[in-house]
Amino acid sequence: MPETKFNFQLQHTDGSARAGELETPHGKALTPFFMPVATQATVKGLTPEEVREVGAQVILSNAYHLYLRPGVGTVAKLGGLHRFMGWDGPILTDSGGFQAFSMGPLRKVTDDGIRFRSHIDGSEHNFTPQLATANQEGLGADIAMCFDQCIAYGASEKEVRQAMERTHRWAQSCFDTHQSSPTGAAAGQVLFGIVQGGTFSELRDESARAISSIPFQGYAVGGLAVGENKEDMYRFTGQVAELLPQDKPRYLMGVGSPEDLVEGVARGIDMFDCALPTRVARNGSLFTPEGRVDINKARYAEQQGPLDETCDCYTCRKYSAAYLRHLFRAKELLGLRLASIHNLRFVLALMERIRASILEDRFDTFRKDFLDVYQPTDEAARQAQKERWLQTRGG
């Protein structure tokens, strides 16, 4: 890993909204930012150059999937994750806790870790905090995440507390492992802790205080966007953010709807990730300033101009909405790629505009103007879609 160490500098605040600069061994990133998801060392359908062109600064890969295939040892032998996938910017890796949780009956949780069967070949594996940390060190990520226990929305307070306390113990184990490893903290990689506690206010307070008592170099809000309504997600995000250190980056995990990014920033969040922009793009659902639209609709059949006249992405610069609709109707792979480029650019451009509004002390106005025009996906439809996605998450 390069010699540059990790550093976070808070540059400006506008209310609770924050603008800063994150320095990592593989370059700097301006906050707040959104991380495209490259689960298996690729943002589906796009080259690293295309991901960079749409404005991505940091990407997220998943240690669970890379552990299973091609293997952490293989990636390490090939020069680490950056060289392996051809991405020279910062990389954050998720530990695999959420993926192990989503395995359902294929996994068993104990105080030592999570035992599960591979969704690829059925082989049995046991993830512990120590192994999850070592995996991320072997991959060579700039930012590693603690191994935590996620729990399903709707679980009892007793179950949520048990998972939260286990997460706290695992966090300390991850921290101790990382601090003592020559390929971890000593090599410039940093480790973020994760706050859990479900939708129980007292547990969220307790978890935020417990996790922030460990000197991680960043903190994440986990266990949200898993089925709760948006009002609860926003409320608990703000509650936790208020309790986290001001001088450390805050990361809201698994959130990527445009309205959620705006509301997350309003509550003091610096970092986001989600597969949503590319996942819905592959289904023909595209972001516009007014909300998501379905490119398969007949009204686009003869639209000569781009889908979004205000968008500067490659897709909108080069192709008509009619052509994009044709590609989807004909089931051409180019349609999936062009739609993914557009959705990622929409989200990343939104983050750029949010940052500019914070630096110019006009974030509240920007937020109001954006939300007055942008129409979120219907809540019931969103919940149903989320449930379907969670059921297929293992692969």
Residues annotated as catalytic (active site), given as ranges: 94, 273
On whether the CB atoms of residues 262 and 367 are closer than 8 A, the answer is yes
CA-CA distance, 78 to 266, in Å (whole number)?
41
The backbone region for 122, taken as left when phi is positive above 0, alpha when psi lies in -120 to 50, beta otherwise, is: left
Q: Which of 211, 215, 168 is nearest to 190 (CA)?
A: 215
Q: How far is CA 148 from CA 40, 69, 109, 163, in A?
A: 20, 21, 11, 8
By residue count, the chain amounts to 395
The residue with tokens 């359908």 is 45
| Sheet of strand 17-24: strand arrangement | 7-14, 17-24, 27-31
**121: buried, middle or exposed (CB in 10 Å: 19+, 13-18, 0-12)?**
exposed
| Residue 68: count of CB within 10 angstroms of its CB | 19
**Residues near 367 by beta carbon (within 8 Å), at least 6 away in sequence:** 262, 263, 266, 357
**299: buried, middle or exposed (CB in 10 Å: 19+, 13-18, 0-12)?**
exposed
On whether the CB atoms of residues 146 and 168 are closer than 8 A, the answer is no
Token digits for 310? 């205000």
Token digits for 24? 């990592």
Q: How far is CA 81 from CA 53, 88, 258, 362, 395, in A?
A: 20, 10, 29, 39, 20
For 275, list phi and psi in degrees, rounded to 5. Answer: -80, -5
